[in-house]
Amino acid sequence: MVDEITEHPKEHSLSLNLLDPLPSKIYTGIQLDIRVAVSCSQACDLASSLLRLSDDNILSETKLEKEDDKYVGKFLAKAPDVPGTYNWQLIFPQQEIGGTVHQEARLPLLLTVLPHELSLNVWDVPLPVVIRQDFSFTVGAKCMAECNLKGDLIEVYDEGGNKLATGLIGDTPWPATKAVYFARLVAKAPAAEGVYTWTAKFIPSPASPHKEVSRNFSFRSSRPGEHTVRVEVVDKFTGKPIRRPYVFIKPYRAYGDDNGVASLVVPKGDHQVFISAPGYQEKTIELKVDGDVQIKEELIIAPTF
Ligand SMILES: [Zn+2]
Ligand SMILES: [Zn+2]
């Protein structure tokens, strides 16, 4: 019987180390950049030796390259298309290098693969929307995996399920965001005054890893304004203007200027005017509007405790 030890007197052992941790969140289909350093216990030259990426089958093979003082294997692998947990392995198969057998070495990679979650939002809806008039608004979508959503479709439906607007998502993310992609849409406002809840839908293109997502949004439609209400807001005790007061005549709202003056255009009728400013007590007054009107209102500094 041949003694294995004497036949292979100098088997060297290998160690594998990931150079970068895997991403903390791995989404289906994303590209994984895997770099692993391999070293021999006897510091052999491992350039061009074989390294394998496997699940149950071989996913990819590469040859080690020398980088500085390391032997590095690189893989560009695609994460699985189905969410779940996967046991991948980096395998250095047993191979002879410089006349010496190098033992197999393995490094397990546990992958938790997540679906692409998508959130949808609606903004820039005019306040109020004017009955029977076209109005524009923005629908934005963001994938947790920060996918570019260009070319995916947005549709908007009313309460009765009638499609009122469609738009394609553009190429550029919303300013100051990394991955909020958006479409500008135009729809015709309802003919009657009231509060409406419509639904925006994200319709993914067929090859997309995304699912359809819906989001409701509400708005008020009102008659167009007819008369200008000019509100000057001053401090009751000093008589000086209060900068940038907030004035709300349902559903219209405005911020005043540095001279404390806010203007709103509202329909004829009886209105409540709500006035506020930081540091002051809020005030609500009744106002009958049957023509352009100017009012001057005084606010009292809010007590501090
Ligand atoms: Zn060696
Ligand atoms: Zn995505």
Q: Tell me the mean pLDDT in the region 262-270.
A: 92
Query: What is the band of 5 on the pLDDT scale with cuts at 50, 70, 90?
Result: very low
Measuring CA to CA, how many Å separate 240 from each of 244, 261, 264, 296? Answer: 13, 12, 21, 12
Q: Which ligand is nearest to the CA of 100?
A: 1
Domain with CATH 2.60.40.1120 in the chain: 227-299
Domain with CATH 2.60.40.150 in the chain: 11-114, 118-222
pLDDT, position 225: 84
CATH class of this structure's domain 227-299: mainly beta
Closest CA to 103 of 38, 42, 12: 12
Residue 29 CA to ligand 2 centre (angstroms): 9
pLDDT, position 226: 87
Beta carbons of 139 and 153 less than 8 angstroms apart:
no
Residue 221 CA to ligand 2 centre (angstroms): 35
171 alpha-carbon distance from chain centroid = 14
Residue 32 CA to ligand 1 centre (angstroms): 29
pLDDT, position 3: 47
pLDDT digits (tens, 9 = 90+) for 178-231: 999 999 999 999 999 999 999 999 999 888 899 999 999 999 999 888 899 999
Alpha carbon distance, N-terminus to C-terminus of the chain? 95
Residue 244 has pLDDT above 60, yes or no: yes
Torsional class of 129: left (φ above 0), alpha (ψ -120 to 50), beta (otherwise): beta
Phi, psi of 6 (to 5 degrees): -75, -25
Residue 144 CA to ligand 2 centre (angstroms): 6
Residue 86 has pLDDT above 80, yes or no: yes
Residues with CB under 5 A from ligand 2 (ion): 116, 143, 145, 147
pTM for the model stands at 0.67
The domain 118-222 having CATH identifier 2.60.40.1180: the answer here is no
Residue 53 CA to ligand 1 centre (angstroms): 21
Residue 201 CA to ligand 2 centre (angstroms): 16
Torsional class of 272: left (φ above 0), alpha (ψ -120 to 50), beta (otherwise): beta
CB atoms within 10 A of CB 55: 14
Q: Which ligand is nearest to the CA of 42?
A: 1
Q: How far apart are CA 228 and CA 188, in angstroms?
A: 25
pLDDT digits (tens, 9 = 90+) for 189-202: 999 999 999 999 99
Beta carbons of 26 and 79 less than 8 angstroms apart:
yes
Beta carbons of 95 and 102 less than 8 angstroms apart:
yes
- What value does the mean pLDDT of the chain take? 93
Q: How far apart are CA 74 and CA 77, in angstroms?
A: 9
CATH T-level fold of 11-114: Immunoglobulin-like (2.60.40)
Q: How far apart are CA 198 and CA 156, in angstroms?
A: 7
